[in-house]
Amino acid sequence: DAKTTQPNSMESNEEEPVHLPCNHSTISGTDYIHWYRQLPSQGPEYVIHGLTSNVNNRMASLAIAEDRKSSTLILHRATLRDAAVYYCILRDDWGYDMRFGAGTRLTVKP
Amino acid sequence: DGGITQSPKYLFRKEGQNVTLSCEQNLNHDAMYWYRQDPGQGLRLIYYSQIVNDFQKGDIAEGYSVSREKKESFPLTVTSAQKNPTAFYLCASTPGGERTEAFFGQGTRLTVV
């Protein structure tokens, strides 16, 4: 069973920020939170990951709640190319077991 | 270029035949994975391997088999016992460790008629 819960779908307007939520209430202290996205007819690609502190990279920002039971992926200015399915997963100490849920399908409107 | 190669991109087979999907990586990653994706659905884990000659069942291993004789290769065989094999199959690899990112291939779309 997936250990994360995400909304099935979200919509955004182009050039506006997007906040994609993820709940992981059973997260353990050593689990890392990873985000991937999958463009149509392609394999998923890595977006960002974090443990406790908020993280930024060229693609997105990751905001992690203080109790770590939820996190939010932030796309600062959505473009049409950001339309994809976004997956939030947990990676344990060893990081080998990688299970994905259904993800959130993001639609970006021009 | 380093990466994961899945071949072929499209595969057609007759019902009742076994078929093997190829996955090769030149990233020197320890762990490799196979996922199945049905239309409009998320990824479901079939098998994964942490090291050569070792692999673990995922959530939907029935009707599938794998081998890991070489670090860079992790072929998936879809057997005739798999009741509904038509799907998009994705292979991934990772060095292992919770801080490392996973890399995915471009997938093989299998159609059984």
Q: Pick the residue from chain B with its C-alpha nearest to A31.
A: B98
The answer on pLDDT for A1 being more than 70 is no
User: Average pLDDT of B2-26?
Assistant: 93
The answer on pLDDT for A18 being more than 80 is yes
Strands A18-23 and A32-38: unpaired
Tell me how far CA of residue B103 lies from CA of A38, A53, B64, B82, B110, in angstroms.
12, 24, 22, 26, 21
The answer on pLDDT for B2 being more than 90 is no
The answer to whether residue A96 neighbours chain B at the CB level (below 8 Å) is yes
B1: confidence class by pLDDT, cuts 50, 70, 90:
low
Report which secondary-structure segment, H or E, holds A79. Answer: none
Residues A72-93: pLDDT tens digits?
999 999 999 999 999 999 988 6
Query: How far is the C-alpha of B32 from the C-alpha of B50, rounded, in Å?
Result: 7
Residues A61-72: pLDDT tens digits?
999 999 999 999
The answer to whether residue B61 neighbours chain A at the CB level (below 8 Å) is no
Chosen for mutation from A41, A49, A99 (greatest number of chain B CBs closer than 10 Å) is A99
Sign of CA dihedral B42, A105, A10, A55: positive
Chosen for mutation from B98, B100, B101 (greatest number of chain A CBs closer than 10 Å) is B98
Give me chain A's average pLDDT, please: 93
The answer to whether residue A102 neighbours chain B at the CB level (below 8 Å) is yes
Of the candidates B68, B75, B91, the residue with the CA atom closest to the CA atom of residue B18: B75
Query: How far is the C-alpha of A3 from the C-alpha of B52, rounded, in Å?
Result: 28
Residues B62-92: pLDDT tens digits?
999 999 999 999 999 999 989 899 999 999 9
Q: Measured between beta carbons, which residues in chain B are less than 8 angstroms from residue A55?
A: none
Of the candidates A70, A69, A86, A90, the residue with the CA atom closest to the CA atom of residue A78: A86
User: Average pLDDT of B16-20?
Assistant: 93
pLDDT of residue A2: 52
The answer on pLDDT for A103 being more than 80 is yes
For residue B61, give every residue at least 6 positions away whose Cβ sits within 8 Å of its Cβ, in sequence order, or none.
B46, B47
